Amino acid sequence: MENNPSVEDVAQAIANVMHPAIDRSLMDLGMIRDIALTGTTASLTLLLPFPGIPILAFLEKSLEESVKALGIDLETKIQNMNQEEIQNFLAMEKEAWKGL
């Protein structure tokens, strides 16, 4: 097995990060975009349905932990979802809500 993780490896690790209150991964919810890898640093954009969500620090930490096993650091950019992304997010949230 290669010692140099690929963008696919990073995406696969991140795909396992679940939303704490919705029974879906952050990827499935459309919250992850623009995964890139430069050396041992991965970067991605975390899209939020609303600014100032209380679980932001938890989500960032969960994402960082997911790639740590690959020996990779993670830089997260935060952006807000557009209207269509918010509608998709809310539809999935309604369908898969499990509460906190």
- The single-letter code of the amino acid at 53 is I
The per-residue pLDDT for 98 is: 84
Q: Residue 46 domain-assigned?
A: yes
Convert 39-69 into a string of H (helix), E (strand) and C (coil).
CCEEEEEEEECCCCCCCHHHHHHHHHHHHHC
Q: Residue 99 domain-assigned?
A: no
Instruction: Report helix, strand and coil shares of the chain as percent, to nearest 5.
Output: 35, 25, 40
Q: Residue 36 domain-assigned?
A: yes
Give the range of the structural domain holding residue 74, as residue numbers without chain letter.
7-89
Q: Residue 100 domain-assigned?
A: no
Question: Sheet of 32-38: strands edge to edge?
Answer: 32-38, 41-48, 73-80
Structural domain count of the chain? 1
List the pLDDT tens digit at each of the 100 positions of the chain: 346 899 999 999 999 999 999 999 999 999 999 999 999 999 999 999 998 899 999 999 999 999 999 999 999 999 999 999 999 999 999 999 987 6
Q: What is the C-alpha separation between 70 and 72, in angstroms, rounded?
A: 5
Q: State pTM to two decimals.
A: 0.92
The per-residue pLDDT for 55 is: 94
Q: Residue 94 domain-assigned?
A: no
Q: In angstroms, what CA-CA distances link 54 with 3, 41, 60, 94?
A: 36, 26, 12, 19
Q: Residue 95 domain-assigned?
A: no
CATH value at residue 42: 3.30.300.130
Q: Residue 97 domain-assigned?
A: no
Q: Residue 2 domain-assigned?
A: no
